[in-house]
Structures are given as C-alpha cells and as structure tokens.
Amino acid sequence: MGKTSHLADQKYINLETYRKSGKTVCTPVWFVLDNDTVYVITTKETGKVKRLQNNQNVRIAPCGFRGELKGEWVSGTARFAEKGETERALALRKKKYGLQARLVGAIVARKGEPIVIAVSI
C-alpha cells in the first residue's frame, strides 16, 4: 500500500496551510492522486497559494464537502507543479469528477489561470 492509498476512495481532502503568523487554515478541496503525489487544482489568486509561497509545510486529511474530518491528518510538503504535471492533474480531475469538473473548470477559468499544488507525503 502506498502513502496515499487511504485517500483513493475519497472525494475531498482538507488541505491545512499556514499563515505567516503560524495560524492554520483548513480548506476542503477536490484532489487527484498520481504516483503517491496528491494534486490540488486552484487559481493563482487564492489564499492557499499565497500561504504556500511562504510555507510549503501542509497537512491533509480525508473530509466531507464541508470539511468534516473522515480520517487522520498526514503531514506533507507542497510545491507548485510543472507544466506536464499540471496537464496530467487536470486530465485526472476530469476523469475523477466528470461533468462537475468541467463546470467548475469553466467557472474557475474566469478567475484566472489554474495552478496545481503537488503534495508529497
């Protein structure tokens, strides 16, 4: 079993990032898995992207739509994905979330260019 196998059947994870003050911020997000890396797709203007520019340490846990925990927290390190990884993550998201992903993708596209966060556990 890989480091991310406990997330395989989940739809959401809580992504915990850190403010400059050290205070944590939890955000329930969609995600995809590829080779034991967790990918989260967002846009450049989001708070989580700004927080990750200051501190790459994160914690993730499986959760429900509103962030209610469904499992244990796991520590990881986040980075911004390369172009090839970004394209793969977007394709995996379409496959996993189907029509929902296409609708969200169209809405998010208006908010700016997608950016992919790659989390290694």
Q: Which of 108, 41, 28, 31 is nearest to 80 (CA)?
A: 41
- Domain housing 13: 5-120
* CA geometry: angle 96, 100, 105, nearest 5 deg: 95
Identify the band that residue 113 occupies on the pLDDT scale cut at 50, 70 and 90.
confident
The percentage of residues in the chain with a pLDDT greater than 90, rounded to a whole number, is 78
Give whole-number Cα distances, 119 to 40, 52, 106, 111, in Å.
8, 11, 24, 23
Q: Is the confidence at residue 109, as pLDDT, over 70?
A: no
**Count: domains in the chain:** 1
Inform me whether the pLDDT recorded for 30 exceeds 90.
yes
Give the whole-angstrom CA distance, residue 57 versus residue 120: 10
pTM: 0.92
The domain spanning residue 97 has which CATH number?
2.30.110.10
